Amino acid sequence: MKKSRQPKAPRIDMTRATQQVFHALAAPPRREILKHLAASGLTAGEISSRFDMAKPSISQHLTILETAGLISREKRGQFVHYALVRQTLADVLTGFMGDVGALPPAPELAPAPDDASSEPAKPTRKAKAATTADPDEAPEEKPLPTQMSMF
């Protein structure tokens, strides 16, 4: 008997984190939550009051958004406050646009006046790191979804 072979799907070069972001953006309620959080940070109760949906469903959407890195949560007293993580959204969407060729080419940096070479100047690793992260700000640890409080 011959085995039927299914054609292989084309390989898409996306990291797991990028896939999680696009999965999170796929559902209209999650996009709506992001719109609300873009205006200001909200508690879980404030978010759920804006939807005609059960609180466990809202909680599931919040977990998916948090796992994708699109929102952050902070427990303050008895309330859980959520905020949009704009940088994650911007990085993933910009990276995707670059991957599909939808971004204009980056302008070349002009060589320094005392530089005799004809190659354009490239930013150093140290300069690049300084623009992407604040050295005084410690990275925030995210709790596991099992450690999260509903409301």
Looking at residue 127, its pLDDT comes to 47
Burial environment of residue 82 by CB neighbours within 10 A (0 to 12, 13 to 18, 19 or more): buried
d(CA 84, CA 80): 14
Q: Kindly tell me if the per-residue pLDDT of 23 is higher than 90.
A: yes
**Residues of the chain above pLDDT 70, percent:** 60
Residue with tokens 């977990």: 63
d(CA 71, CA 41): 10
Looking at residue 34, its pLDDT comes to 96
Looking at residue 103, its pLDDT comes to 78
Element housing 75 (H / E): strand 71-76
d(CA 97, CA 104): 10
The answer to whether the beta carbons of residues 71 and 85 sit under 8 Å apart is: yes
Looking at residue 46, its pLDDT comes to 95
pLDDT in tens, 52-105: 999 999 999 999 999 999 999 999 999 999 999 999 999 999 988 888 888 777
Q: What is the DSSP letter of 104?
A: P
Residue with tokens 């320094």: 112
In what side-by-side order are the strands of the sheet with 79-84? 42-43, 79-84, 71-76
